[in-house]
Amino acid sequence: MNRPGQRLDHESGLELVRSTCVMCGQNGSRPLLRFRPPDLAGEFALDRCGHCGAAFVNPHPTRAQINRFFSDETIYLHTRDPEGRERSLAEERDRRRAEFAAYVRRIRKRVPAGRALDVGCGMGLFLEMLGPDFDRTGIEINPFCARTIRRRFDFPVLEGDATEAEFAPGSFDLISIMQTLDHFEQPGVFLAKTRDWLRPGGILFLSSLINIASPCARLFRECFRLLHPFHLVYFTPAVVRRTLARLGFRVLCLEYPYFRTPYFNRAELEALIRKTARRLLARTAHPDRPVYSPPFIGNIMNVYAVREAGS
């Protein structure tokens, strides 16, 4: 019998744990699809919650395994995309300056200065670009990234699991969670903590939430490039708005940042056309050949929200 808390050995070598919805904690999910990530053996299952509508990997890797994966110092220097191309996230850091500058401009319209916390701060690019008008703090689980920040900057970085961090209520005017929320075992619980850490009227910035309702996610389904067992939770715009409202936030803006990212280029647009044709053909002629989706608008979402007074 499958039950929440049940631990399972998987052919990938991962230990998985079955759970209720990782976003709202409720029972009542139903199977959505099964997928095979290119870098791991075996299939993984994606369920959709019947209460909040979020999709989540179930069963999913344990918290200890997630933390061990993201603590590996090599992942920022050597990683691969679904096509098998090697990438260095450390080398790509400066390619994202224009993208991050756009986020900072939008945030400064609401919070021109104050106390800022960046959860999963990587090598500190976002905090660097916020500038000295902010009293900046980072949280980062990866030792390589934490050392890089300490060497380059004078703002503090707390090294470790962000879900174990503690701050006094109302400690911050701005909290950013960038490319990180979907890796938490209980992201809904963590968002409730961030609400308490923010002052009323403070801004929450969530970047790179995976949109399971995007055109690529719908067309490529089990070959959607962002499906991975370490991406535990997947959203739709409606799920994001409902979840944040339930937790005491009001969404100010929901955007699709594709055109600002390094993925918006001629080569990737050509790949979109080529892969879409191959995907449509593979459905009938070669159903056993995976064709992973390209980067495209709608795959990820950024959300700017304000903590409501009284929440």
* Domains within the chain, CATH numbers bracketed: 93-307 (3.40.50.150)
Higher pLDDT, 309 or 248: 248
Is the pLDDT confidence value at 193 over 90? Answer: yes
Confidence at 129, pLDDT banded by 50, 70, 90:
very high
pLDDT per position as a tens digit, 81-99: 666 666 666 667 777 888 9
H-helix segments, the chain:
63-71, 89-92, 97-110, 125-130, 143-152, 187-197, 215-220, 237-246, 266-282
Measuring CA to CA, which residue among 8, 26, 65 is closest to residue 228? 65
From first CA to last CA, the distance across the chain in angstroms is 39
Confidence at 2, pLDDT banded by 50, 70, 90:
low
What are phi and psi for residue 90, nearest 5 degrees? -65, -40
Is the pLDDT confidence value at 79 over 70? Answer: no
pTM assigned to the model: 0.91
